[in-house]
Amino acid sequence: MSNTLGEMFRISTWGESHGDAIGVTVDGCPPRLPLDVADIQKELDRRRPGQSEISTQRKEGDQAEILSGVFEGLTLGTPILVSVWNRDARSRDYEHMRTTYRPSHADYTYDAKYGIRNWMGGGRASARETVGRVAAGAIAKKFLAAAFGVEIVGYVKQVWTINAQVDPDTVTQADVESNIVRCPDQDVAFQMIERIKEARKDGDSLGGVVECVARNVPPGLGEPVFDKLEADLAKSLLSMPACKGFEVGSGFAGTTMTGSTHNDPFYNDGGRIRTRTNYSGGIQGGISNGENIVIRGAFKPTATILRPQPTVDVEGKETELIGRGRHDPCVLPRAVPIVDAMTALVLVDHWMRQSGRLRISTRNCGSRAP
């Protein structure tokens, strides 16, 4: 099982949904970055369960503990271990899933691959695994902000068939956090909230789209040909539970345009090369071009629903399953900080890869005789 992301800024998440604790090890963080547990807690509070009437009612404080890698408020350059204790697991709610597979969940596929699975809360297949991602992402976000002033803002763009109109160039974190669905379009946000409440009342669930913008990203990040920036961003988002689709810039809508309308014209803005449009989403040829990076992740409806569904048990016998327990009727609001985190992790890793290349290039050039 692969639990590690990144080449130079590496994270490894660990723990299960109903285990004692869950967390992450971050290896490769540069030294002397000011870091306090409050920096991590702020992001975990955005992700934690039980935060509103449209999220799971599991009550977890998700209090982070930094167990290594930080001394007197500064990172040491050594591995950083962040741990969060699980306090409110109710494994009895999953007893009936011990031998029965939830439709469209990972129950069957984990059994097929490993011959064993943790049926209590879904184990590693639970979205609770993302606690570690968000904790690591908080460190990455702080580094990017300090080094370049990079700002990452994710928000709910769509729930079900309800679409919001949001300008990625101007949206702020305050706009996103102004309501419980994390949609900056206030009128549409109200519609989304009411539709999610309706789905919960019906024992059903909804999917949608999270859009994310990264501003002030320097040009030159990305590793053609197989580690293109958008390829790694796609991998990071698609590794999230329930994420089934990825777009950058114009995405699939670009297929309906012509080259003359889709191409982003260059111009010189006081010595800085810019583009007048941004259909590329800030990435060209797999490399950042200095414009805002705009990506989207599509999330399916939550698999565990509180209504009867046909399925089979571990013996292959056809049966029926009604979900129990506490589940998000729509993962979108709590997916926003996870998308932010994954975006930050990819960007900081690619910055470190590019920075290392530049140091080697400068050293080699400096050693040449005139």
Question: Each residue of 34-54: pLDDT tens digit?
Answer: 999 999 999 999 999 889 999
pLDDT in tens, 73-114: 999 999 999 999 998 777 777 888 899 999 999 999 999 999
CA dihedral 186, 190, 192, 194 (to 10 degrees): 170
Contact in structure between 281 and 250 (CB atoms under 8 Å): yes
- Indicate if the pLDDT at residue 133 is higher than 60: yes
pLDDT in tens, 151-182: 999 999 999 999 999 999 999 999 999 999 99
Contact in structure between 182 and 162 (CB atoms under 8 Å): no
**Selected residue with higher pLDDT from 328 and 89:** 328
Sign of the four-CA dihedral 357, 240, 141, 64: negative
Domain of 38, in residue numbers? 4-366
- CATH number, domain of 129, equals 3.60.150.10
Instruction: For residue 368, name the pLDDT band (cuts at 50, 70, 90).
Output: very low
Query: E-strand spans in the chain?
Result: 4-5, 10-15, 21-27, 64-68, 70-71, 74-75, 80-85, 151-159, 162-163, 208-215, 243-248, 266-269, 272-275, 283-284, 287-288, 293-299, 308-312, 318-322
Contact in structure between 137 and 82 (CB atoms under 8 Å): no
pLDDT at 361: 55
DSSP secondary structure letter of residue 223: B
Domains in the chain, number: 1
Nearest CA among 347, 352, 226 for reference residue 293: 347
Q: Tell if the pTM clears 0.75, that is, is over it.
A: yes
Contact in structure between 247 and 295 (CB atoms under 8 Å): yes
pLDDT in tens, 185-194: 999 999 999 9
Mean pLDDT of the chain: 94
- Indicate if the pLDDT at residue 358 is higher than 50: yes
**CA–CA dist 249, 252 (Å, integer):** 9
